[in-house]
Amino acid sequence: MAANPMYQFNVYRIGPEIKLGQIDISFTNASLFMVISSLAILIIFNLGASKKTLIPNKIQLLAELSYSFVSKMISDTAGSKAKPYFSFIFSLFMFVLFCNMLGMIPYSFTVTSHIIVTFVLAAFIFVGVTIIGFIKHGLGYLKLFVPSGVPMVLLPLIVVIEIISYLSRPISLSVRLFANMMAGHTMMKVFGGFVLSLGIVGGWLPLSFSVALTGLEILVAFLQAYVFAILTCIYLNDALNLHH
Amino acid sequence: MLKKIIFQIFILSFAFLTSAQNAETGGMPQLNPEFWISQIVWLVITFGILFFVLSKFILPKISNNLETRKSQILENIESAEKQREESEKKLKEFDKIIFESKNKAKNLFNDARQKVLDDINKKRAELEKNIDDEVNAAEKEIDQLKKSSHDKITKIAIETSSDLVKQLIGEEVNNSSISAIVEDLSRKNKEKHNGI
Determine the pLDDT at residue B105: 95
Q: Which CB contacts under 8 angstroms, 24+ apart, belong to A197-206?
A: A197/B11, A197/B15, A198/B8, A198/B11, A198/B12, A198/B15, A202/B8, A202/B11, A202/B12, A205/B8, A206/B12
Q: Which CB contacts under 8 angstroms, 24+ apart, belong to A142-148?
A: A143/A242, A143/A244, A144/A238, A144/A242, A144/A244, A146/A244, A147/A244, A148/A244
Determine the pLDDT at residue B20: 53
Determine the pLDDT at residue B86: 96
B145 within some domain:
yes
- By percentage, how much of chain B surpasses pLDDT 90? 49
A22 within some domain:
yes
Interface test with B, best of A10, A25, A68 (most B CBs within 10 A): A25
A77: left (phi over 0), alpha (psi -120 to 50) or beta: alpha
Among A170-174, B9-13, B54-58, the minimum mean pLDDT is found in: B9-13
- Average model confidence (pLDDT) across chain B: 84
Of B12, B28, B58, the CB nearest to A46: B58
Q: How many domains does chain B have?
A: 1
A1 within some domain:
no
Determine the pLDDT at residue B10: 59
Specify whether the CB–CB gap between B47 and A38 falls below 8 A. Answer: yes
- Region B152-179: mean pLDDT is 79
Q: Is A38 on the interface with B (CB under 8 A)?
A: yes
Q: Could you tell me which residue, B8 or A109, shows the higher pLDDT? A: A109
Q: Which SS3 state, helix, strand or coil, does residue B92 take?
A: helix
Of A9, A25, A193, the CB nearest to B37: A25
Determine the pLDDT at residue B11: 60
Q: Is A140 on the interface with B (CB under 8 A)?
A: no
Are residues A28 and B66, on separate chains, in Cβ contact within 8 Å? no
User: CB B167: neighbour CB atoms within 10 A?
Assistant: 8
Task: Label residue B152 exposed, middle or buried (CB < 10 Å: 0-12, 13-18, 19+).
Answer: exposed
In angstroms, the separation between the Cα of residue A165 and the nearest Cα of chain B is 24
Determine the pLDDT at residue A62: 92
d(CA A38, CA A55): 27
Structural domain span for residue B83: 39-194
Are residues B12 and A186, on separate chains, in Cβ contact within 8 Å? no
Listing DSSP states for A197-212 in one string gives HHHHHHTHHHHHHHHH
Determine the pLDDT at residue A244: 53
Instruction: Look at residue B103 and tell me whether its pLDDT is greater than 60.
Output: yes
d(CA A97, CA B121): 100
Q: Is B1 on the interface with A (CB under 8 A)?
A: no
Q: Is B6 on the interface with A (CB under 8 A)?
A: no
Among A69-73, A150-154, B7-11, B131-135, the minimum mean pLDDT is found in: B7-11
Query: How high is the mean pLDDT in each 10-residue block of chain A (244 residues)?
Result: 75 85 87 95 92 82 93 92 92 96 92 94 95 91 85 89 94 94 92 87 88 95 96 92 73
As separate numbers, helices (DSSP H) first and strands (DSSP E) second, chain A gives 7, 2
d(CA A30, CA A111): 6
Instruction: Look at residue B191 and tell me whether its pLDDT is greater than 80.
Output: no
Specify whether the CB–CB gap between A210 and A195 falls below 8 A. Answer: yes
d(CA A34, CA B46): 6
Please report residues of B whose CB lies closer than 8 A to that of A3.
19, 22
d(CA B66, CA B73): 10
B27 within some domain:
no
d(CA A89, CA A120): 15
A118 within some domain:
yes
Q: How many domains does chain A have?
A: 1
Q: Is A41 on the interface with B (CB under 8 A)?
A: yes
Full-model pTM: 0.72
In angstroms, the separation between the Cα of residue B82 and the nearest Cα of chain A is 21
Nearest-10 crossing angle of helices A204-240, A58-78: 50
Instruction: Look at residue B3 and tell me whether its pLDDT is greater than 90.
Output: no
How many CB contacts within 8 angstroms connect chain A with chain B? Answer: 157
Among B9-18, B70-79, B101-110, B150-159, the minimum mean pLDDT is found in: B9-18
How many CA atoms, within 13 angstroms, populate the side-chain half-sphere of residue A186? 23
Interface predicted TM-score (ipTM) = 0.90
* H or E stretch at A19: strand A19-20
3-state DSSP: chain B helix, strand, coil percent, rounded to 5?
Answer: 95, 0, 5
Determine the pLDDT at residue B13: 64
A181 within some domain:
yes
Q: Is A97 on the interface with B (CB under 8 A)?
A: no
Determine the pLDDT at residue A1: 41
Are residues B59 and A86, on separate chains, in Cβ contact within 8 Å? yes
Q: Is A52 on the interface with B (CB under 8 A)?
A: yes
Specify whether the CB–CB gap between B172 and B166 falls below 8 A. Answer: yes
Among A6-15, B107-116, B171-180, the minimum mean pLDDT is found in: B171-180
Q: Which SS3 state, helix, strand or coil, does residue A5 take?
A: coil
* H or E stretch at A23: strand A23-24
Q: How far is CA B164 from CA A64, B152, B161, B179, in A?
A: 146, 17, 5, 13
d(CA A209, CA A186): 14
Structural domain span for residue A64: 7-240
Determine the pLDDT at residue A3: 64
B138 within some domain:
yes
